[in-house]
Amino acid sequence: MTAMAMSRSLMMALAGMVLVLGLAMLAGDARAQAPNQTDPTLQTAPVDGGVPGGTLGLSSDAEMWRAVRQGVTGTVSIPDQNAALLVQSEGDNWRAIRNGPIKVYGAYALGGIVALLVLFFLIRGRIRIDHGKAGVTITRFNTIERAGHWLLAVSFILLALTGLNLLYGKFILMPVIGKEAFTAVSMAGKYIHNYVAFAFMAGLALTLVMWFVHNLPSRTDIVWLLKGGGVLIKGVHPPAKKFNAGQKMIFWLVILGGFSLSLSGWALLFPFTTTAFADTFAVINSIAGTNLPTDLTPIQEQQYNQLWHNIMSVFMICVIIAHIYIGSVGMEGAFDAMGTGEVDLNWAKEHHSLWVEKVQAKDAARPGGSPQPAE
């Protein structure tokens, strides 16, 4: 091999080595930059349920989160095992429903009933005693009946005002009286609400015992209802016993609605002691074939109770606003029945003719014929 040929081979070998080294370096560099598929912190795409960036994501500890959200009995050493529940996901739904539809539709309902009554007053005016006052009275309710009514009425009104403060006070009262005064008012309201509830339940029981018999449905109710109670047209007075069909409806709404309010309120006063909703759902499922949840956690029971208490209270307040209207400004002579207990005879004849006949017949049959309290 000539010297010339040798140096050409050497040059080519050197160039080859440079090329191989260069390629090797490039390959090494590329390998260094490529994602390491086994290291989750270096992933750029999900692999086997793992999420890029090394966060837990889909591969989080399901068992741990289940325990956090559902609470596992035995994981806390204090008696209240509910403390094992750290995050209650359904609480979000409860809050959204309470602060959303309940507040909004509740306000519509309350505003709506007031608007309807104003409209009714503008169209119909005050329902007058068509024959004018007789100047003679008849005893409509005795002292016990009136005491029972006012126990129920005053307690309900206190519960309604303090309850509405919890729902709307932040928007209506707080801007007017300021945050500190609102706190004091709301705290006092909470105590009033909690204790007056028992007076309400007593009033409810008394009302049921006093007036149950008088509020059983009768045939006269059908005639009364067909004639619209005589409320819509002047001069129309369908016969009625001690209570007419409209009053019977109010009575049963008060008794059943008041009972439901009392039950749900009791569950709120003594949390985690009742299973009324799970039990009710089970009954509904067995009757209607529905699939309502019956395995409610104690806190879900509380949430259902709280929502139901809200819905029922707004409904009952609407009913009672209408009752207060007709028992005061809406009808001439009505308030006396619960004020003094004595009503004008013509009022009584127009609104409760069958009851007047009965009382007068009883009076006539008595020796001396002196007036008797109504039955």
**Interface residues with ligand HEM (CB under 6 A)?**
140, 149, 152-153, 156-157, 207, 243, 247, 250-251, 254, 320, 323-324, 327-328, 334-335, 337-338
β-sheet bridge partners, residue 127: 331
Q: At what angle do helices 298-326 and 90-97 cross, to 10 degrees?
A: 10
Cβ 328 to ligand HEM shortest distance, Å: 5
Q: What tokens were used for 61? A: 């500890």
Residue nearest to ligand HEM (CB): 327
* Cβ proximity to ligand HEM, 11 vs 256, nearer residue: 256
Cβ 297 to ligand HEM shortest distance, Å: 33
* Cβ proximity to ligand HEM, 182 vs 200, nearer residue: 200
* Cβ proximity to ligand HEM, 69 vs 131, nearer residue: 131
Cβ 300 to ligand HEM shortest distance, Å: 30
Cβ 257 to ligand HEM shortest distance, Å: 9
Cβ 373 to ligand HEM shortest distance, Å: 13
* Cβ proximity to ligand HEM, 149 vs 309, nearer residue: 149
Tokens 């009262």 sit on residue: 173
* Cβ proximity to ligand HEM, 43 vs 193, nearer residue: 193
* Cβ proximity to ligand HEM, 89 vs 328, nearer residue: 328
Cβ 49 to ligand HEM shortest distance, Å: 59
* Per-residue buried b or exposed e for 315-325, using 16+ beta carbons within 10 Å of the residue's own CB: bbbbebebbeb
